[in-house]
Structure 1
Amino acid sequence: MAKITDLFRYPVKGLSPEPMNSLTLTRDNGIPFDREYALALGTTEFDPDHPEPLDKGFFLMLRNNEALAALRTKYDPARDRLSVALNGHAVLSAELGTDEGRDAVERFFERYMGEEAKGRPKLVRSAGHKFTDASVVSPVFMRSVSIVNLASIHALEAAVGEPLHRLRFRGNIYIEGLEPWEELEWVDREIRIGHVKLKGLARTPRCGAVNVNPDTAERDANLPKAIMKNFGHTDLGVFMEVLNDGEVRVGDDVLTPYLF
């Protein structure tokens, strides 16, 4: 029986994940507080009153900005507060719902990212909008949940001859007990975790973000090329649509399409 080993949410696009013991999944919102905020480049136009999905290249993100991986962030939803640490030292704590807090965040990332920010970045948020990579496809994809199969990571590790940190792949739900690449066959099929049903939307194509080592913040691999060379595609993981509201927990059994 396949099981959940890890759960993560990413409150600010491109910044570090938060490990969770449980996640609430909803049909209308996917994972609350996941990719809730983003740091738009200084050159990016984004209207929170009339949000339009934008390619991730309009924001600070790991594909282009590996220095983000050196930051350790924590988000407190009750206080709408973001805390940032660098090399074990607190460098920022700000309430994002205030002008002062947003100003502090933007000034910090302008200094930290330098020219890569293309001016002063803008902390953006919009009710009902998520800054997921797949948001440009459709509203359903915007609310999707990212599932990563640990066996696929292990197959890639064997191919490249070195261990790979699972968080390179920035999934929400990590699963063990599957065959390598089994998750790629879930498109248009349903799985169940506890009482929550999910349906596969698309395989997750991998970009240069996975080349960044989460421990060192260095771009030390070319994993999309390695996946293509060894397996004939560039996918690892799957985007899933949440079909009903419910909670999933670390250790929950995962019923794959072959089991119900």
Structure 2
Amino acid sequence: MTGRLTHIVRHPIKSIGHEDIDSAPLHQGRVLPFDRVWAVSHQAAKFDSPLRDWARKSNFLRGVAAPQLMAVTAQMQADGQITLRHPDRAALTCDPDRAEDQARLIDWLRPLWPETRPAPRAVERVDGVALSDMAEPYVSLLSLASLEALGQAAGRQISRHRFRGNLWVEGWAPWAERDLPGKRLRIGAAVLEVAMPITRCRATCTDPATGTEDLEMLELLERLNGDWHFGCYATVIEGGTITLGDPVEVL
């Protein structure tokens, strides 16, 4: 079962923007570089800011609580700043590590976050720790054929950005990735071991182009496969550079 790597996606600020890139160095036991480096905590977070260790996703701003966040895109600049764009907001370029830019980022996010939810509080970062949904340093792996099958069942084209994945593969049979947990893959110069399926939440019900819910994704997944799984988590066990077009081989 050999496929081809077609998309590499990172999300520098958790739940706030996605960015496609052409190549990345993977390191043993680490996430995709610059993926979920920062996150924005809210006033009901169960830790004192600044954050000192990984914390559960419920402590942060997320697309499941604010569908408008799903429409944000990100672009990292050469100087380390990040430009965020949203169809209803003027673009913002900021350095999430600078206090003055953190305040600007929170102000930029306020109109996209429901007033009924605890307000955005602070930009968090923990050196060497990805603020992903899982504490383990996973890279997510998804299939374009499965996405196409999902779209056919829904009767519409479905954006891959609903799923906030890292690595997208074409050339596999639809749903073949569901048999991958426990197996190893070679992608470019790196080797990954597939750990477990990804259980999805209602954030996937939102169209990333508009930031509005338009599809009962969880019902669709359950009807097709009997669960809410889409994609897999994998661990990097041998580091190396990956590049668009690399073969993805099951070892």
Does the alignment reach a TM-score above 0.5?
Answer: yes
Are positions 1:251 and 2:241 aligned together? Answer: no
Are positions 1:211 and 2:212 aligned together? Answer: no
Runs of 4+ in structure 1 off by over 3 angstroms are 46-49, 88-91
Q: Check whether the contact 2:17–2:74 (CA below 8 A) recurs between aligned residues.
A: yes
**Take 1:191 and 1:112, find their aligned partners in 2: how far apart are those partners?**
39
C-alpha change, 1:216 and 1:119, in structure 2 (3 Å) is: closer
Q: Check whether the contact 2:51–2:124 (CA below 8 A) recurs between aligned residues.
A: no
5 Å-filtered alignment, 1:98-247, equals: 98-116=98-116, 118-135=118-135, 141=136, 143-247=137-241
Deviations 1:2-53 (A, max 9, x none): 1011111000111221110012111142211100001111221255463142
Are positions 1:70 and 2:64 aligned together? Answer: no
Name the counterpart of 1:53: 55
Q: Check whether the contact 2:22–2:243 (CA below 8 A) recurs between aligned residues.
A: yes
1:238 alignment partner AA: C
Deviations 1:123-160 (A, max 9, x none): 1101111111122xxxxx2x110011111112212222
How well do the aligned residues superpose, as a CA RMSD in angstroms? 1.9
**Take 2:88 and 2:172, find their aligned partners in 1: how far apart are those partners?**
36
Q: Check whether the contact 1:183–1:238 (CA below 8 A) recurs between aligned residues.
A: yes
Count of paired positions: 249
2:121 alignment partner AA: P
Name the counterpart of 1:20: 21
Deviations 1:147-182 (A, max 9, x none): 111111122122222211111111101001101111
Larger mean CA deviation between 168-177 and 86-95 belongs to 86-95
1:132 alignment partner AA: S
Structure with greater strand share of residues: 2
**Take 1:156 and 1:111, find their aligned partners in 2: how far apart are those partners?**
32
- Give TM-score, length-normalised by structure 1: 0.89
Shift of 1:111: 4.4
Deviations 1:102-131 (A, max 9, x none): 121122223442525512421110111111
Q: Check whether the contact 2:13–2:39 (CA below 8 A) recurs between aligned residues.
A: yes
Classify the secondary structure of the residue corresponding to 2:115: helix
Q: Check whether the contact 1:149–1:237 (CA below 8 A) recurs between aligned residues.
A: yes
**Take 2:60 and 2:155, find their aligned partners in 1: how far apart are those partners?**
33
C-alpha change, 1:97 and 1:230, in structure 2 (3 Å) is: closer
- Give TM-score, length-normalised by structure 2: 0.92
- Residue segments in structure 2 that go unaligned for 5+ positions in a row: none
2:219 alignment partner AA: K
Structure with greater helix share of residues: 1
**Take 1:20 and 1:159, find their aligned partners in 2: how far apart are those partners?**
29
Name the counterpart of 1:138: none
Q: Check whether the contact 1:80–1:97 (CA below 8 A) recurs between aligned residues.
A: no
Q: Check whether the contact 1:109–1:117 (CA below 8 A) recurs between aligned residues.
A: no
2:96 alignment partner AA: L
